[in-house]
Amino acid sequence: MSEHESSSDPSSLSRRGFLKGIGVGTAATGLITAVKPLAEAAGNDPSLLGPGEIPVTLAVNGQSRKLNVEPRVTLLDALRNRLDVTGPKKVCDRGTCGACTVLVDGNPIYSCSMLAVEAEGRAITTVEGLGTPDRLNAVQKAFVDHDAQQCGFCTPGFVTAATAYVRKHPNAGTDEICRGLGGNLCRCGTYAGMLLAVADAAKAKGGV
Amino acid sequence: MATSQWPDAAQRSLLGTRISRVDGPLKTTGAAKYSYDQNRPGMLWAKVVSSPHAKAEVSGIDTSAAEALKGVKAVWKDDLKEVQYAGQIVAAVAAETEEIAVEAANLIKVDYKPVEHVVKDTDPELSKERPSKREAGKVEEALAKADIVHSGHYGLPVITHCCLEPHGQVMELREGELYVWPSTQNVSGYADRVLGETVEVPQNKIHVDCQHMGGGFGSKFGVDKWGTINAILAKQTGRPVKLMLDRDLELMIAGNRPSAFASIKVGAMKDGTVTAVDTEVWGTGGSGGFNAPPVPYVFTKIPNTRIVGKGIRTNRGGQRAWRAPNHPQGCFLTMSALADVAAALKMDELEFFQKNVAQTDRAEVYTEELKIAADLIGYKAKAHLRGAGAAGPVKRGLGISMHTWGGRGHPSECDVTINPDGSVEARLGSQDLGVGTRTSVGIVVAETLGLPLAAVRVQLGKNEYSKSGASGGSTTIGGIATSSRLAATAALNEVMAKAAGQLGVAADALEARDGNIRVTADPTKKIAWKNACSLLGANAVTKRGVCVPGDAEKEKMISQGVGGVQIADVSVDVETGVVTLNEMVAVQDCGLVINLKTAESQVYGALIMGITYALYEEAVYDLRTGRMLNADMEFYRLAGIRDVGQLKVHMMTGKGYDDRGVIGLGEPPVISPGGAIANAVANAAGVRVPNLPLTPDRVLAALSQKGAMA
């Protein structure tokens, strides 16, 4: 499940390709349905985890956070429900909409589609780690300037995906930006502002 | 004395300019806490159990296994005997973790006996209700006299609201008081009698708090069943409980826009003048009712019209208001039929709509808007008669649509406090759905007091503040702009009364500008705002402004009735059936604009939401099982950033518009995209694709029909 690091540039992949690349989508549900056999086997195989809670340490926004979670808990639910890191949003909960996007070792991933236990030992950055209301990063500032949000529920995911994209593609043009943000969905319809915002942020090279 | 009339253009410093929303930094950094984000100490997670059957008798609900699961703290079950739609909630659990709650919900056994259901909504014969009928003039006679009579069938399916933050709330019952963090469009009106009585808490001990909410679009006004269940679980456990709907239920039961299918006959003269429209329309509001959408729409002065409406009650989740209820349906049906008449007459669509503009309520506005929209999209250079575009498999075409809406402000009360240190606070029980309400209140108060926006703190989202209306029907901006203007003016006058003595002039000789209270006739005679406020002594001044819509309309602070024109430019690949949006323009009036930036955002957003329902959205139901097949975001498609093309927005402002006062904007621009895009597709492909969404299969089917007819 960590093969996605081997893909040289995940942000250039389509949503489907990206999902396929990290082998998610079925993994989480697969584990839930496999709870019983796991439980029976766990006694014999020390490499199997659970089904009860196990201690996990997550590096979130530069802080080491200890928590106990069942192995079936997604990174998204661990962040939101256990650590009160609620920037990443739960919307589709199956790797479609991108509202839960976080950076894992600098790469954008859908945190609804990664298990918390898999994220151990990796650097997790959520939208909260990119900037604060008083110190916005270039993408966040550009989102505010271009009013690239309405209800704002998709905004953290877009800001996170856009930040990762702009870091890798500082000279991105409109078509490329559209591609970079193709894995996120907005319901209010803020794409016009987003496009201008990300183009602005792309110009502010290295500022994110 | 300051007056509450809106200032003239030359006197405005903030009103109508482009101002970034004040909560933007909170939203872009994840600091904005939505209902879904509330994590209370000791909080439990709730999950609901819902019916897999579209209609079934329920003989028993066994919750024993769920209750026995470790970590489960409360179980609720309904005593209902029958379920009426798939997704109907029958039981719920609250547990220590979300995972345990999911597991427990799965352990609840419900004995269903499925019975015959109806989910089909495309056949008027399925209607069991008495048809509605409206008639004006002499339809048969006019059709007989018409030079041309066009008959067509058109339709739009049920779509869902698909709010990104699902419906739901967190509730906590502590020491006899109920604390609720709901995702709601109705902060002041949320705590209703039923909610209180359910858990025996009087309404004056229910505290509602909604600072940010993740989309409603007309679907989030009430407590709903999930709210009632949440209150019961909170009472049973004595702990805070979070109950948010999962995505599948959000799409199935938390909001459906009714479908509309119609058979329409239009009579017209050779010069394009439409003389008669005869409509039979049917559709479903699911388990809720059905009202015939307005046809003919916008062209309401067509003298001879008849419309028969037939509601089909189906075993689907109930309908809810969806941005401009019934207007997108009436608009799509009307604009499609009218454009087909233009095509049959071999008349240019723009010329045809201009010809009939006198049959609207707002001929002058529409005439101006049609011209601006045509110029913006380069109509003259691109237009061609239906199907007469360039050769090759990718055909390009333009389509026009027009719409209207009321948008009169709702009742609203706002308190404005000016403190002796000069700080200012506005408080009102309104809500910010993401349209920038918080910012608009700040702009109005700051403008009134002659202060920068940052000097005003705006507090909303709590029912402890003065009552403000629910945000529906584009009524918020008129209501809150009026109440905050009146409150700020009244409070300012208290400060001016003190300043007048200091400056040795009468209070009515003063104005508040640029951070000063100054003499209007001699601006060098002034007191800085802070110093003027210090004259209040120890006591802050608080004044309440009340928007009584009828009075506010008389005072020209608000009004109602807007017109909008949209033109779409699409490409249709006649080999694959794929429709591509190249460009779309929206020209819209909404009276006096408070914040041009967020107003434009509303229109851009409406265009995108409209493109989405025109091209992609449909709640697909399986006729055999009665279940929604695409209750997720993979197959219930929303437009992505690559799907929307180039968008242009033009707001009608200035003389003749500003002086109408403030009018709502949320609904109007979302009405036309279906009609404009469908007409553009017809213009490009040379054939009407009669049903939304304009998916490749529908486009290809229409093209093959055309081949068969030829």
Same structural domain for residues B388 and B534? Answer: no
Same structural domain for residues B98 and B235? Answer: yes
pLDDT digits (tens, 9 = 90+) for A4-47: 333 344 344 444 444 444 444 444 444 444 444 444 545 567 67
B87 in any annotated domain = yes
- Show the domain range for B573: 324-407+560-709
Which of B204, B225, B244 finishes a domain? Answer: B244
User: Residue A187 is nearest to which of B23, B164, B213, comparing CB atoms?
Assistant: B164
- Show the domain range for A80: 3-129
Interface contact flag, A187 B247, Cβ < 8 Å:
no
Measuring CA to CA, which residue among A114, A152, A201, A130 is closest to residue B439? A152
Q: Which residue of A has its CA nearest to B33?
A: A86
Residue type (1 letter), A79: L
Interface contact flag, B21 A127, Cβ < 8 Å:
no
B47 strand-pairing partners: B93
Same structural domain for residues A117 and A18? Answer: yes
Same structural domain for residues B549 and B624? Answer: no
Same structural domain for residues A80 and A57? Answer: yes
Total number of residues shown for chain A: 208
Same structural domain for residues A170 and A91? Answer: no
CA atoms within a 13 Å half-sphere pointing along the CA-CB vector of B402: 30
CB crowding B318-327: b at 16 or more within 10 Å, else e = bbbbbbbbbb
Q: How many domains does chain B have?
A: 3
Same structural domain for residues A170 and A93? Answer: no
Same structural domain for residues B339 and B469? Answer: no
A21 in any annotated domain = yes
Which of A129, A155, A179 finishes a domain? Answer: A129
Which of B521, B554, B587 finishes a domain? Answer: B554
Interface contact flag, B26 A133, Cβ < 8 Å:
yes
Which of A79, A112, A129 finishes a domain? Answer: A129
Residue type (1 letter), B643: D
A39 in any annotated domain = yes
pLDDT number for residue A6: 37
Q: In angstroms, how far apart are the furthest CA atoms of chain B?
A: 88
pLDDT number for residue B156: 98
Interface contact flag, A191 B644, Cβ < 8 Å:
yes
Same structural domain for residues B529 and B565? Answer: no
Interface contact flag, B27 A152, Cβ < 8 Å:
yes
pLDDT number for residue A50: 80
What is the per-residue DSSP string for A13-74?
S-HHHHHHHHT-SSHHHHHHHTHHHHHHHHTT-TT---SS-EEEEEEETTEEEEEEE-TT-B
Say how far residue B147 (Cα) sits from the centre of its chain: 40
- Which CATH number covers residue B505? 3.30.365.10
Same structural domain for residues A17 and A45? Answer: yes
State mean pLDDT over B555-583. 98
Interface contact flag, B30 A96, Cβ < 8 Å:
no
Q: pTM for the full model?
A: 0.94
pLDDT number for residue B1: 77
Same structural domain for residues A48 and A146? Answer: no
User: Residue B434 is nearest to which of A73, A127, A188, comparing CB atoms?
Assistant: A188
pLDDT number for residue B675: 98
State mean pLDDT over B685-700. 98
The answer to whether residue B710 scores a pLDDT higher than 90 is no
* Angle formed by the axes of helices B673-685 and B596-615, nearest 10°: 50
B188 in any annotated domain = yes
CB-CB neighbors (< 8 A) of B454 in chain A? none
Same structural domain for residues B226 and B353? Answer: no
B274 in any annotated domain = no
Same structural domain for residues A107 and A39? Answer: yes
CB-CB neighbors (< 8 A) of B32 in chain A? 152
Is the minimum CB–CB distance between A96 and chain B shorter than 8 Å? yes
pLDDT number for residue A171: 85
A208 in any annotated domain = no
pLDDT number for residue B58: 98
Give yes or no for a contact between B340 and B277, defined as CB atoms under 8 angstroms apart.
no
Measuring CA to CA, which residue among B9, B277, B43 is closest to residue B140? B277
Interface contact flag, A159 B597, Cβ < 8 Å:
no
B254 in any annotated domain = no
- Which CATH number covers residue A106? 3.10.20.30
CB-CB neighbors (< 8 A) of A33 in chain B? none
Give yes or no for a contact between B457 and B425, defined as CB atoms under 8 angstroms apart.
yes
Q: How many domains does chain A have?
A: 2
Mean pLDDT, all residues of chain B: 97
Same structural domain for residues A95 and A178? Answer: no
Collapsing DSSP to helix, strand or coil, A180 comes out as helix
Same structural domain for residues A70 and A161? Answer: no
ipTM field: 0.97
pLDDT number for residue B692: 98
Same structural domain for residues B523 and B609? Answer: no
pLDDT digits (tens, 9 = 90+) for B209-223: 999 999 999 999 999
User: Residue B164 is nearest to which of A91, A143, A144, comparing CB atoms?
Assistant: A91
A7 to chain B, closest Cα gap in Å: 23
The answer to whether residue B232 scores a pLDDT higher than 90 is yes
- Which CATH number covers residue A177? 1.10.150.120
Interface contact flag, A143 B597, Cβ < 8 Å:
no
The answer to whether residue A208 scores a pLDDT higher than 70 is no
Same structural domain for residues B344 and B481? Answer: no
A14 in any annotated domain = yes
Same structural domain for residues A158 and A104? Answer: no
pLDDT number for residue A40: 53
B306 in any annotated domain = no
Which residue, among A26, A53, A72, A153, would best test binding to B if mutated, counting the most B CBs under 10 Å from its CB?
A153
* Residue B664 neighbours by CB under 8 Å, 6+ apart: B405, B406, B407, B408, B409, B473, B474, B475, B476, B477, B478, B590
Same structural domain for residues A109 and A147? Answer: no
Same structural domain for residues B464 and B365? Answer: no
Is the minimum CB–CB distance between B163 and chain A shorter than 8 Å? yes
Same structural domain for residues B387 and B418? Answer: no
Residue type (1 letter), B153: H
pLDDT number for residue A206: 54
User: Which of A27-41, B35-49, B322-336 has the lowest average pLDDT?
Assistant: A27-41
CA distance B103 to B416: 50
Same structural domain for residues A89 and A106? Answer: yes
Within 624-683 of B, beta carbons closer than 8 Å to A belong to 632-634, 638-642, 644, 647
A88 in any annotated domain = yes
Percent of chain B with pLDDT over 70: 100
CA distance A47 to B558: 69
Same structural domain for residues B359 and B458? Answer: no
pLDDT digits (tens, 9 = 90+) for B109-162: 999 999 999 999 999 999 999 999 999 999 999 999 999 999 999 999 999 999
Query: Torsion over CA of B4, B8, B14 and B15, rounded to 10 degrees?
Result: 70
The answer to whether residue B317 scores a pLDDT higher than 90 is yes
Which of A112, A129, A146 finishes a domain? Answer: A129
Q: Which residue of B has its CA nearest to A84?
A: B39
Give yes or no for a contact between A208 and A169, defined as CB atoms under 8 angstroms apart.
no
pLDDT number for residue B157: 98
Which of B527, B554, B581 finishes a domain? Answer: B554
State mean pLDDT over B424-452. 98
B105 in any annotated domain = yes
pLDDT digits (tens, 9 = 90+) for B488-540: 999 999 999 999 999 999 999 999 999 999 999 999 999 999 999 999 999 99
Burial-class residue B269 by CB neighbours within 10 Å (0-12, 13-18, 19+). middle
Task: State the pLDDT confidence band at A205, using cuts at 50, 70 and 90.
Answer: low
Interface contact flag, A149 B606, Cβ < 8 Å:
no
Same structural domain for residues B64 and B200? Answer: yes
Within 390-449 of B, beta carbons closer than 8 Å to A belong to 433-435
B681 in any annotated domain = yes
